[in-house]
Amino acid sequence: MTAYGSREKCYRCFRPKSSCMCEYINSFDTNTKFVILMHPKEFKKVKNNTGYFTHRTLENSELFVGIDFSNNRRINEIIQTHESYILFPSADALNLSTTTPVKNEKEKKAIVIFLIDATWSCASKIFKKSQNLQTLQHMSFTTTRESQYQIKEQPKSHYLSTIESTLVVLELLNVWKIENTPTKNLNDFLNPFLQMIEYQKNKVAFAPTSSVRFKKSSK
C-alpha cells in the first residue's frame, strides 16, 4: 500500500521503484575488504550512486560518508588490522597491473582497499583532510578500458567511475590469485550501473527540452 499521490518505493534502497536498480545487483563475497568513502555531496545529490552500487554488490565492504576521516574509530581499526591500500594514483603507487599487493606470504594480513567516491576535486579534499589516509600505500592500475559513464562528463576518457575502477581491481586480484571471483560475477558487476545509465538517458530523451541536464561541455 502507498499513500495517495505517492510513488511506490523500494525498501532496500528507498528509491521509487521506477528508478530502483536493486534487481540488477548480484552481491558476492571477497577475500579483500573494500571501504568506500563517499563525499556528502555524492550522498545527498546522486540518486543512484556508483559507490553505493559497489557497496551493495560487495558483501565484504563498508561505506562511510564524510570528508575528514582522521578520527573515525572504525576506519582506524580497519587500517590497523589489515594490509591497507588506497586506490589513488601517484608516482609511488603500487601498480596492481604489474605487482602483487601481498608483501609477506608467511605473515600476511587480509587486504583492504579504500575507494574514494567523489568528483575528482572532492576526492582530493577527502585525501588532504584525512590524515589517516595519507599514511596508506597508494594503489593504481593501468588499463585501456574507457568509462561508460555516458551521462556524466569525465575529465578524460580513461578516468573510470568508482564501480568501473573496482571491477578492474577485482579482475587483477584474480590474476594474482588473491581472489577467485567467478566470471559471471565479474560480467554482472556493472549491471546496476549500466541500467542506471539507460534509465537516465531515457528520462532525458522524454523530458522537455528545457529540463535536459546532461550535455557535453563546449569548453
Q: What is the pLDDT of residues 102-124, one digit of tens each?
A: 877 666 789 999 999 998 889 99
pLDDT for 219 = 37
Q: Domain for residue 110, yes or no? A: yes
pLDDT for 59 = 98
Q: How far apart are CA 135 and CA 124, in angstroms?
A: 15
Grid cell locating 202: 531515457
Q: Domain for residue 13, yes or no? A: no
Placement of cell 605473515 in the chain:
107
Write out the E strands in 23-132: 33-38, 61-65, 83-87, 94-95, 111-117
Q: Domain for residue 93, yes or no? A: yes
Q: Domain for residue 204, yes or no? A: no
The total number of structural domains in the chain stands at 1
Print the domain residue range for 40.
26-141+161-195
- Per-residue CA distances from 89 to 40, 42, 118, 182, 206 (Å): 22, 21, 15, 27, 39
Q: How far apart are CA 115 and CA 136, in angstroms?
A: 12
Q: Domain for residue 125, yes or no? A: yes
Chunked mean pLDDT (size 10), the chain, 219 residues? 59 79 95 96 74 96 97 98 95 96 78 93 93 97 83 59 95 97 97 90 57 35
Q: How far apart are CA 211 and CA 163, in angstroms?
A: 27
Q: Contact, 113 vs 169, CB < 8 A?
A: yes
Q: How far apart are CA 165 and CA 120, in angstroms?
A: 14
Q: Domain for residue 152, yes or no? A: no
pLDDT for 45 = 61
Q: Domain for residue 38, yes or no? A: yes
pLDDT for 152 = 55
Q: Domain for residue 6, yes or no? A: no
pTM to 2 decimal places: 0.85
